[in-house]
Amino acid sequence: MRSFVAILAILATMLSLSVGAEQPREAPRDSLEAEIARLLAEMPAGEGAELQGFYAARDHRAAWVERQQVAAFAEALETLESDGLDPRDYRADRLVAEHRRLQEANAAPAEQARFDLQTSTLLLSALRHLQRGRLDPRRVDPQWEIPVEPARLDLEAVSRAVDGQRFEQAFGEARPAYVPYERLRNGLARYRNIERVGGWPMLPEEPRVLREDDMDDVVARLRQRLAMEGELEVMAADPGAFPGAELETPDPRRFDGPLEAAVRRFQRRHLLEPDGIVGPQTRAALNVPVAVRIDQIRLNLERARWLLHGLPESFVLVDIAGYRLSYFRPGGEIWRSRIVVGRPYRRTPSLRSEITHMTVNPTWTVPPTILREDVLPAIRRDPSYLQRQNMRVLSPSGQPLDPWRVDWYNPGNVMIRQEAGPRNALGQVVIRFPNDHLVYLHDTPAQGLFAREQRAFSSGCIRVQGVLEFAQLLLDDTGSDQSVQALTASGQTRNVPLASPMPVILHYWTVHPGEEGQLVFRPDIYERDGDLLRALNRPLAL
C-alpha cells in the first residue's frame, strides 16, 4: 500500500511538472510592479511625464499582462488606417508575437516591465497623434505660426480603457470632435474602396476637347470615370442585361446634357472653371490616380488634427487654398464669402490671431517688397503712374517729397503712400489683427477677380468679397455701436476698435469636405503637400 501511495505521489509530481512546462510562468505581480516603478524612476528628469502619470493612475500596476489585452490593442491599432495613420508605426503587427515570446520564455520581471512600458508608450502616442497630429507642424512648415498646444489626455480614463479593453472607444474620444474631420475619414474610406476595385479609368492624353453633343468612345470612359466618384446617373444601362425590356437609355458614346452637368459638378469640386468642357485642365484632374487623392486626404487629416481642437464658439476661418472665408457667428450662423489670397511667390501665411480693429477709408503705405518689385518698375516706365494712382512720395520721417526730384533708379529710403479713395488698393475697409507678416483682411477695387475659381492674385493679404457686410457683422456681434456705412460715407480715415476681439485663423487645406459630404480637391498653390506627405510617410521613431 505504501509503495502504491509513493507511486501516486511520483505521478502527481510528474504531472504537475508537465503542466508547469505547458503554462508559461508569469512574473509575480509585486516583482513586476517594482520593476515598472524602478524603470520609471530611472527616466531622465523632464521625460516621460505622461507615462509616469499613466502608471501613477494605476498604482504602478502592469497594463499588458493578459494576452487578450495585447491582442485587442493590436487589433484596435489597425483601425488607425482610417485616420490616414500607418498602424505599422505603432508596431501593431509585432505586439502579439512579442508578448507571446516573453510569456513562453518565462522572461524576467525586468524584461516584462520594459515591454509593459513600451506598449503603454505606443498607446499614449497613438492617442496623442489622434488628438493633436503625428507631426509637429513647425518642423514641416517653417512659416507655421498657429500655437501648438500639447495633447491633453485623461490618463485615468485611458487606464480604465486598457483594463476594459475599450481601445477603439479611447481612440474615438481622442479624435477631433468636429464634423469636417469625420467627413474626411469617410472620404478616405470611400476612396480606398475605389482603389481596392482597381481605381478609375484614365482618359487618353490628347489635345482635343470633349463637349456637349460630341460622339466618341472616350465619352463612355468619361462616364465610367465620373461614376466611380458617385455620379451614377451618367451611367447608361446595358440593354443586353435586360432582354425583352424596353429601356430608355442614352448612347454611352454621346456627350449629353446630364453628362455635361456632371462634368460641371466635377469642375466645381476641383476649383476649375465650370464650363462643362473636358479640356486640358479638366482632363488632368480626371486623370489624377486615386492613390494620389488618398494621399491628399491623409495629409489633410493631419492638418485637421493640428487645427481642430479648442476652437472658440465664434471665430473667423480663412481657408487659403479654398479661397473662402467662413465667419462662425455667435449663435451658430455661418457667414461665408469668396476671397483672394497671395500669389505662390507671396504666400498668405498660416497663423492664429485676434481681430482687434478696422480702418475705414484707409490710406495704403506700399510695403517694401511691393515697392521694390512692382511700384518702382511702374514709375520708371511711366512717371505719371504716381498721379494716376493718387500716390504721394514721403521721406522716412513722413515729409512730402517732390516726385520729379527723386532719382527713381536710386530713390533711397522713400515711402509711397496711396491716399484714400476709389483707387486705393485696400478699398474702403481694412480688418486688422496683430501678426508678424503685416497681413490683414481688406476690401478691393478689383472686384472682378472674385468671379474666378482660382484666386491667388494678392501680395499676401486677403481680399474679401462683401467685406462691408462682414465688417458690420463683426461690429454688431462684438457689441460695437458703429455703422460701417456711416463711417465710410464720412470720407475720413479712421481706426475703429472692436468692443471685444474676435479670433481669426488662417489655414491651408487642399482637401475640404463639402456640405453634402463630397470631397473638394484644391490645387496645391503653395506646393506644401509634398513636404508634408514625405514627413507623414517617414517611419515613426518611438
d(CA 487, CA 475): 12
Same domain, 241 and 388: no
Same domain, 41 and 112: yes
Same domain, 355 and 259: no
| Residue where a domain stops, chosen among 152, 177, 202 | 177
| Residue 519 · residue 269 · CB < 8 Å | yes
d(CA 17, CA 9): 12
Same domain, 37 and 78: yes
d(CA 475, CA 468): 11
98-121 pLDDT, tens digit each: 999 999 999 999 999 999 999 999
Helix locations, 339-428, DSSP H = 368-370, 376-381, 385-388
377-400 pLDDT, tens digit each: 999 999 889 998 899 999 988 899
Same domain, 231 and 140: no
Same domain, 250 and 384: no
Instruction: Report if residue 438 sits inside a domain.
Output: yes
Task: Quote the pLDDT of residue 28.
Answer: 60
Instruction: Report if residue 280 sits inside a domain.
Output: yes
Instruction: Report if residue 76 sits inside a domain.
Output: yes
CATH number at residue 446: 2.40.440.10
Other beta carbons within 10 angstroms of residue 349's beta carbon come to: 19
Instruction: Report if residue 452 sits inside a domain.
Output: yes
The parent domain of residue 388 ranges over: 365-419
Instruction: Report if residue 240 sits inside a domain.
Output: yes
Task: Quote the pLDDT of residue 422.
Answer: 83
Rounded-to-10 torsion of CA 511, 513, 515, 516: 120
Same domain, 442 and 476: yes
Instruction: Report if residue 183 sits inside a domain.
Output: no
Instruction: Report if residue 32 sits inside a domain.
Output: yes
With vertex at residue 138, the alpha carbon angle to CA 511 and CA 531, rounded to the nearest 5 degrees, is: 50
d(CA 452, CA 324): 12
Task: Quote the pLDDT of residue 230.
Answer: 86
Task: Quote the pLDDT of residue 1.
Answer: 47
Q: What is the pTM of this model?
A: 0.85
Same domain, 356 and 443: yes
24-81 pLDDT, tens digit each: 444 466 789 999 999 999 998 778 899 999 999 999 999 999 999 999 999 999 999 9
Same domain, 115 and 133: yes
Per the structure, how many domains does the chain have?
4
Same domain, 369 and 323: no
Q: Does position 13 have pLDDT exceeding 60, yes or no?
A: no
Instruction: Report if residue 522 sits inside a domain.
Output: no
Same domain, 433 and 469: yes
Same domain, 272 and 323: no
CATH number at residue 267: 1.10.101
